[in-house]
């Protein structure tokens, strides 16, 4: 490696010092939260009054993440199997194919996505009813 005087190359990087006078772009996470985006693919929600228990979501899921289970709840009277989906978040990839194929459009994704736990068995998720 040979050394040559390169005045521009030596001085121009110093322009980075200008950043001292700029506002930081940091999002101070736990206190300041970024605005959630409309249509973000987060947790599932399922309107029980609309769900017809057709298991289309289970069929399209390539990760085998959806179980159709019976719970103690009031079903839609059109719900022919009286089952509703439960999602295993140890499998899900949030591709939202399940919401695309849902005939009554009851399964949806919401903006919330935070789930941190030290127990790996906490990842079976019952979609919120809303």
Partner 1 sequence: MEEGFLLEQKTLEGDLNSETSHQSSVDFLMNWFRKRSIFVLAYGTGCGAIEMPPTFTSRYDAERLGIRGAATPRQADVIIVSGYCSYKTLRRIIRTYEQMSNPKYVLALGSCTVNGGMYWDSYNTIKKLEDYLPVDMYVNGCMPRPESILEGFIELQKEIGAGKASSWQKYEENHEFYRKNQEAVLGEKVEPSYEADWYLYEGGL
Partner 2 sequence: MENKHITIFHGPQHPGITGNMSVELDLIGETIQKATTHVGYLHRGFEKLVERRTVIQAFTIVCRICVPEPDPNEANFAAAVEELAGIEISERSKYIRVMVLELSRLAAQFLWLAGQSGSIGLYAVGQWAIADRDLILDLFEELTGARVYHMYIYPGGVRRDLPEGFLERVSKLLSYMKKRLKDYDDIFINNSSFKNRAIGVGIISKEEALANGYVGQVLRGCGIAADVRKDAPYLIYGDLDFEVPTELGGDVYARALVRRAEMDQSVHILEQVVEKMPEGEIMVKMPAHRKFKLPKDDTWVKVESARGEFAYYMAGDGTEKIRRMQVRGPSLVHAYTLLENLLVGAELSDVALIMNSLGICPPEIER
Partner 3 sequence: MFKTIKSNFATADVEVKRQDLYKVVIKYDRLSALIDFLYNNYTYKILNAITCTDWIEEGHFALTYLITTEDRSNTFMIQTLVGREDTKVESFSKKFKQAQIMERDLHEMYGIDFIGNDNLKELSLENWVHTPPLRREFDTLEFVNEHLTFREGREDNVDVKAETKRLRALKKAQKEADKKAKEAADASALKENEDGK
Binding site for partner 2 (CB under 8 A): 1, 3, 6, 8-10, 12-13, 15-16, 19, 25, 37-41, 59-60, 62, 93-97, 100-101, 109
Q: CA 52 to CA 56: how far, in whole Å?
A: 10
Tell me: does residue 63 bind partner 1 (CB under 8 A): yes
Among 70, 73, 111, 112, binds partner 3 (CB under 8 A): 70
Q: CA 125 to CA 123: how far, in whole Å?
A: 6
Tell me: does residue 82 bind partner 3 (CB under 8 A): yes
Task: Please check whether residue 45 is in contact with residue 127, taking contact to mean a CB–CB distance below 8 angstroms.
Answer: yes
Tell me: does residue 94 bind partner 1 (CB under 8 A): yes
70 binds, among partner 1, partner 3, partner 2, none (CB under 5 to 8 A by kind): partner 3
Tell me: does residue 16 bind partner 1 (CB under 8 A): no
Pull the structure tokens for residue 56.
């289309």
- Interactions with partner 3, residue window 19-58 (CB under 8 A): 53-55, 58
Q: What are the Cα distances from residue 113, in Å, to 36, 37, 52, 79, 122? A: 10, 12, 26, 28, 14
């Amino acid at each position: 490696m040979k050394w040559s005087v390169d005045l521009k190359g030596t001085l121009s990087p110093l322009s980075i010092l200008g950043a001292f006078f700029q506002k930081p772009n940091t999002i101070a996470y736990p206190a300041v939260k970024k605005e959630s985006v409309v249509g973000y693919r987060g947790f599932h929600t399922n309107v029980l009054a609309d769900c017809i228990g057709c298991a289309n979501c289970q069929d399209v899921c390539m990760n085998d993440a959806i179980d159709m289970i019976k719970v103690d709840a009031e079903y839609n009277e059109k719900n022919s199997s009286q089952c509703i989906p439960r999602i295993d978040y140890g499998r899900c990839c949030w591709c939202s194919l399940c919401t695309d194929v849902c005939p009554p459009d009851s399964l949806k994704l919401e903006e919330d996505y935070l789930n941190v736990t030290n127990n790996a068995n906490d990842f079976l998720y019952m979609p919120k009813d809303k």
